[in-house]
């Protein structure tokens, strides 16, 4: 009887799903032009792996990803990994292409809805565009993230690259992606908003 009870405890522990953070993003989360282990998502994975109990991190980010392609991929990712937290870092490529903001808003809203329907907490990571895109479009992009976070009760980091984007020493020559030296700061930006979701 004791062996059966012990076996049941072990089996339950093995069957318990790992706590998982799913990151769905573009090149800003895919360690563009630097080693994977230098990117902020890998740095997050290392940090969360030291928690008790640990959290796993699934980085589903793809360079060039748009909000539409992310929207199309998310349902399968939710079904496969069943994350407790979903971090959505998409919209930069929509913005850089000058795409209309209404479809971006719809795509982000659909992703938030899908994640929340799967019982995951959601963190939106916003992005800023270069000044040559004009104040109207740039302000509109900011409003997409802010309005969605408020309407959907999702957490929000308004600007992923805050404290990094305007520092040439932390940015690659393209002016769009952080260097390895900038990635720890990016992680700290994310961590300040993500940490409460892990304890929620």
CA dihedral of residues 178, 88, 54, 194 (deg, nearest 10): 80
Q: Give CA–CA dist 32/120, Å, rounded.
A: 27
Note if 27 is an active site residue.
Answer: yes
Q: Does the annotation count 177 as an active-site position? A: yes
> What is the enclosing helix (H) or strand (E) of 161?
none
Indicate the Cα dihedral angle 85, 43, 180, 23, nearest 10°: -20
Per the CB < 8 A criterion, the answer to whether 55 and 19 are in contact is yes
Which entry of 27, 29, 61, 67 is annotated as an active-site residue? 27
Strand partners, 124: 88, 156
Catalytic residue among 29, 61, 94, 177: 177
Q: Is 94 a catalytic residue?
A: no
Which of 117, 112, 114 lies closest to 90 in space, CA to CA? 112
The full DSSP string for 52-92 is SS-EEEEE---TT--HHHHHHHHHHHHHHH--SEEEEE--H
Q: Which residues on neighbouring strands pair with residue 58, listed in sequence order?
A: 22
Report the catalytic residues. 27, 174, 177
């Amino acid at each position: 009887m004791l062996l059966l009870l012990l076996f049941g405890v072990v089996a339950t522990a093995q069957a318990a799903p790992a706590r998982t953070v799913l990151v769905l993003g573009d090149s800003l989360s895919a360690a563009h032009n630097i080693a994977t282990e230098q990117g902020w998502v890998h740095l997050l994975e290392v940090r969360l792996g030291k928690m008790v109990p640990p959290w796993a991190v699934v980085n589903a980010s793809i360079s060039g990803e748009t909000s539409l392609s992310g929207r199309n991929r998310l349902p399968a990712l939710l079904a496969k990994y069943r994350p407790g937290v979903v971090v959505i870092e998409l919209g930069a490529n929509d913005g850089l292409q000058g795409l209309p903001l209404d479809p971006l808003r719809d795509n982000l809203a659909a992703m938030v809805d899908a994640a929340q329907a799967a019982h995951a907490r959601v963190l939106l990571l916003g992005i800023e565009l270069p000044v040559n895109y004009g104040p109207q479009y740039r302000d509109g992009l900011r409003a997409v993230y802010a309005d969605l976070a408020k309407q959907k009760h999702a957490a929000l980091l308004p600007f992923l690259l805050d404290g990094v984007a305007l520092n040439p020493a932390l940015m690659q020559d393209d002016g769009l992606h952080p260097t390895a030296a900038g990635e720890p700061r990016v992680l700290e930006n994310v961590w300040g908003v993500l940490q409460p979701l892990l304890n929620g």
